[in-house]
Structure 1
């Protein structure tokens, strides 16, 4: 009943096996198509598991779409309207909480990271560009961006962040979250010394190879280390889309570490995925599909949460810039590349269920940014008493 009520007001074309079609103007307009192959199974999952069931139903091929990102964008844009306010107030009673095994403690953090980032370096190489950068690019024009432009857009994003952090010859840089080493290489190319930490063994292996191949093994130290265990003092701290893996209970610890490790006069440059503050508060204690299957322990902050938590640690926002539309384009390019390499993904041992799960993940993420529900920002922090 809720589903039919919701989609009757949405610009979607929902098709049932018996020929029934639902959606606002679904009979007259070319709209994103959601095809229900097994309505009974779909409603059973959604009725018992909510949005987790919605995603599981796609993975099980109970519904499909020629363009799942388009369907999910429509839903994300109206997310707060889909469920009546009275039922939304029951969210905390009806939906599960994240398991304690995924809480962002030092004991759990490595397992959480390994779940995603240690899947296979070869898998990520199939859909990432040559820089192996797994975060939003920054294009000249996201509306006209194409695959050949992605690598340079990733380099530009990294350089912009390094510029904001003041990285140059002689700068001591701490990177929290190594990725596959591209930022290390570009910082070292400026003459900086870099200490980069990660909890992913697979990323560490390939990052070390890439740093050595670029000729910077003497100026870059890559280490398997929790951010809480870093010691020393750094002129610049850079962290790209790492805060999302920390877990909201540990944001104060994260910003305390940034403040403690930052040398006088230094800057912190973050790239962070953000969501509206009210939605963050409403969803932070709810177990989500993305936490269950993709990023265990993950939690997206709001701009207010970052500003407030950083302030308590003695840091202030010096500048920030938002570019969510660029992330939607980045994700579209990854998704298209992933789909184009389906045979190679299968050859690595990832079955059809895994491929549908990742199709949904990439489309789900793209929809969040395309609808404006999510944003991505580069944020520069400093101690105002030390800098003008």
Structure 2
């Protein structure tokens, strides 16, 4: 027999690497660049196939940190997944590295024959300046949120709410679940007609418009996203709410009160550990004595990931999705809030609701994926599909959690406008409108 061809040698090298890295029985299939299939050896209800588009992709996928390597290769289209992407990520976590450091070094040596140079990905963040300075925070927010209002409109709800929805019955559609969440926030704040509400990190204005329409509040929202401000101002004008609702392009550190109530929904993840005390002091000073703050934030979950930092470094998310973002344990938020003078009145975990919310977003994005690619390009559309699928798994598996914390600024007598129980929240048949 003659010598094998270069194509055959590459295929043999790739198969050898897969046999070393994937445990037997193999939980997922692998489709090679020539169309041949290495089938899964474990029967699954949802079969997942890893599709390798070119030989050199394996070399990329095996270089630590693996989350960054996998993410970049996926964005560039070097590999794809047939089947549910969230399920693929669940399988990936179950494949905890079974090789010792010496064996792993041997795998990497074997992979060198497949290497190629990396492409420069245009969707990576390029921030300048000191971390969590006002200018750098502006860059970080605009990197994620100023992508395209039309892109977000493809898969968000009708009010463009980009945070955890609330599914008290379990079968609500996304529009109803997001309205449930707005109702939940404002009922916890016990918002009254004519009160001044501050929304920091106001997004596309969903909460402040809802607060004026349904509760008769005077509302101010602040954000660092130019496109969010443009959209929110258009919605405010369409609804004739200019006399009651304003949104401004302003850093939360430049907000001055007094306000009766305040909400921070999915904003504190951008603040950073070092700035967390300043964040709570700023909002404490912005509130009147007796005022309330609803602090809604993603936290580290109760179940630690099985992967080491070599595998799950967080670098992919920091580089491509939420630059400078930090997910902290709940206790760090409670400690900083209390040190600023707040009383912690109520804490609720909404973790299962965020997994469900993300699955809605992914399904809606998938349904209009061709439109998304036309709007923001293939790499960015794939980035959102990957990050939201990964996040859905992280919340479902308990690696991430999300908490709503009701905080009070006591008045001179040490009192705040919080009833003795939650009973008032459920008056009128529960959440979902008044």
State the TM-score bracket (shorter-chain normalisation): 0.7 to 0.9
How has the CA–CA distance of structure 1 residues 329 and 287 changed in structure 2, closer, same or farther, with 3 Å as cutoff? closer
How has the CA–CA distance of structure 1 residues 294 and 213 changed in structure 2, closer, same or farther, with 3 Å as cutoff? same
Asked if the contact 1:42–1:57 (Cα under 8 Å) also holds between the matched residues in 2, the reply is: no
How has the CA–CA distance of structure 1 residues 11 and 202 changed in structure 2, closer, same or farther, with 3 Å as cutoff? farther
How has the CA–CA distance of structure 1 residues 10 and 311 changed in structure 2, closer, same or farther, with 3 Å as cutoff? farther
Question: Which structure dedicates a bigger proportion of its chain to helix?
Answer: 1
Asked if the contact 2:212–2:245 (Cα under 8 Å) also holds between the matched residues in 1, the reply is: yes
**What do the CA deviations read for 1:193-243 (whole angstroms, capped 9, x no partner)?**
112111011000110111122221101121110001111211111011000
Among candidates 289, 292, 300, match of residue 327 of structure 2: 300
Q: Any residues of structure 2 matched to 1:294-333 within 5 Å, and which?
A: 294-333=321-360
Among candidates 184, 187, 190, match of residue 163 of structure 1: 187
Asked if the contact 1:45–1:53 (Cα under 8 Å) also holds between the matched residues in 2, the reply is: yes
How has the CA–CA distance of structure 1 residues 4 and 159 changed in structure 2, closer, same or farther, with 3 Å as cutoff? farther
Asked if the contact 1:73–1:370 (Cα under 8 Å) also holds between the matched residues in 2, the reply is: no
Among candidates 31, 38, 43, match of residue 28 of structure 1: 43
Q: Does 1:51 align with 2:77?
A: no
Distance 1:354 1:70 in 2: 21
Unaligned runs of 5+ in 1: 88-97
Count of aligned residue pairs for this structure pair: 366
Offset of residue 60 of structure 1: 2.5
Distance 2:100 2:302 in 1: 18
Among candidates 204, 211, 228, match of residue 187 of structure 1: 211
- TM-score normalized with structure 1 length: 0.85
Asked if the contact 2:348–2:405 (Cα under 8 Å) also holds between the matched residues in 1, the reply is: yes
Offset of residue 128 of structure 1: 0.9
Q: Any residues of structure 2 matched to 1:1-388 within 5 Å, and which?
A: 7-8=22-23, 12-15=27-30, 17=32, 19-20=37-38, 26-30=41-45, 32-37=47-52, 38=54, 40-65=56-81, 66-75=83-92, 82=97, 101=129, 103-142=131-170, 144-145=171-172, 149-189=173-213, 190-276=215-301, 288-348=315-375, 350-383=376-409, 385-387=414-416
Secondary structure, aligned partner of 1:367? helix
**What do the CA deviations read for 1:146-204 (whole angstroms, capped 9, x no partner)?**
xxx21111011011111111211121111101111111111112121112111011000
Asked if the contact 1:127–1:334 (Cα under 8 Å) also holds between the matched residues in 2, the reply is: yes
Offset of residue 351 of structure 1: 2.3
Secondary structure, aligned partner of 1:319? strand
How has the CA–CA distance of structure 1 residues 14 and 307 changed in structure 2, closer, same or farther, with 3 Å as cutoff? farther
Secondary structure, aligned partner of 2:274? helix
How has the CA–CA distance of structure 1 residues 42 and 382 changed in structure 2, closer, same or farther, with 3 Å as cutoff? farther
Secondary structure, aligned partner of 1:249? coil
Distance 1:228 1:242 in 2: 13
Secondary structure, aligned partner of 1:380? strand
How has the CA–CA distance of structure 1 residues 254 and 86 changed in structure 2, closer, same or farther, with 3 Å as cutoff? farther
Distance 2:127 2:97 in 1: 26
Asked if the contact 1:178–1:197 (Cα under 8 Å) also holds between the matched residues in 2, the reply is: yes
- TM-score normalized with structure 2 length: 0.76
Give the CA RMSD over aligned residues: 3.0
Distance 1:5 1:380 in 2: 51
How has the CA–CA distance of structure 1 residues 2 and 291 changed in structure 2, closer, same or farther, with 3 Å as cutoff? farther
Query: Which is higher, the Rg of structure 1 or of structure 2?
Result: 2
Offset of residue 386 of structure 1: 2.4
